[in-house]
Structure 1
């Protein structure tokens, strides 16, 4: 598989998770008892987002 395709798919995943987190995090904080019941989902999404930031940065240095 071409490295450019891997870069593009990881960038697409980063954008998709970013949009999902933009919607999901305020909804979780706005619902009563939302943080206590959905804390694991928010932290998992944040960890996936941070991991993808580093992956996209590393792939960007290889592609360019």
Structure 2
């Protein structure tokens, strides 16, 4: 069970890094927001889901 939480946290860290770099670049590039806003919203949804799932699974570890 601990390995599952560690993998979730690793995925969370990688996705957070991608979002921290990707969102400002997308917003600064002319015309890119319209092309990639659905991808950004989906990524943010996955990020929030990872936070919730990691918290729930972590509550089962004693």
User: TM-score under structure 2 normalisation?
Assistant: 0.94
Which consecutive unaligned segments of at least 5 residues does structure 1 have?
A: none
Task: Choose the corresponding residue for 1:18, options 16, 20, 43.
Answer: 16
Task: Choose the corresponding residue for 2:2, options 4, 8, 29.
Answer: 4
* Count of residue pairs brought into register by the alignment: 62
CA distance in 1, matches of 2:24, 2:7: 26
Runs of at least 4 residues of structure 1 off by over 3 A? none
How far did 1:59 drift? 1.3
Which consecutive unaligned segments of at least 5 residues does structure 2 have?
A: none
User: TM-score under structure 1 normalisation?
Assistant: 0.91
